[in-house]
């Protein structure tokens, strides 16, 4: 699946969120929503492009993570 990048200005004013398990000054992946689009960016380079996903794609990813589908990536 090919994803497109959005310019950071597409998410001006968005409330970015990262995991509560992430240390405040550490780099992490952040997510924010604008309408039906969920943006994903790297916290250490917020001015870089933002990957865009639908809410359904994010729901499927989170369900897979909860199901352990990606556990092998951390072993």
- Per-residue pLDDT of 17-66, as tens digits, reads 998 888 777 788 999 999 999 999 998 888 888 999 999 999 999 999 99
CA quadruple 21, 25, 27, 31: dihedral, nearest 10: 60
The pLDDT-based confidence of 2 (bands split at 50, 70, 90) is low
The span from the CA of 52 to the CA of 62, in Å, is 15
Tens of pLDDT along 5-18? 778 888 898 999 99
Two tokens at 3? 């994803």
For the chain, how far is it from start to end, CA to CA, in angstroms? 25
Instruction: Domain count for the chain, please give it.
Output: 1
State the pLDDT at residue 27: 80
Query: Which candidate, 12, 19, 74, 71, places its Cα nearest to that of 43?
Result: 19
Q: Which domain holds residue 37?
A: 5-74
- pTM of the predicted protein model: 0.80
């Amino acid at each position: 699946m090919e994803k497109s990048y959005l310019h950071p200005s597409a998410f001006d004013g968005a409330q970015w969120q990262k995991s509560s398990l992430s240390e405040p000054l550490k780099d992490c992946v952040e997510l924010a929503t604008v309408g039906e689009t969920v943006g994903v960016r790297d916290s250490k380079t917020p001015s870089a492009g933002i990957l865009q996903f639908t809410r359904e794609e994010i729901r499927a990813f989170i369900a897979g993570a909860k199901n352990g589908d990606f556990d092998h990536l951390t072993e």
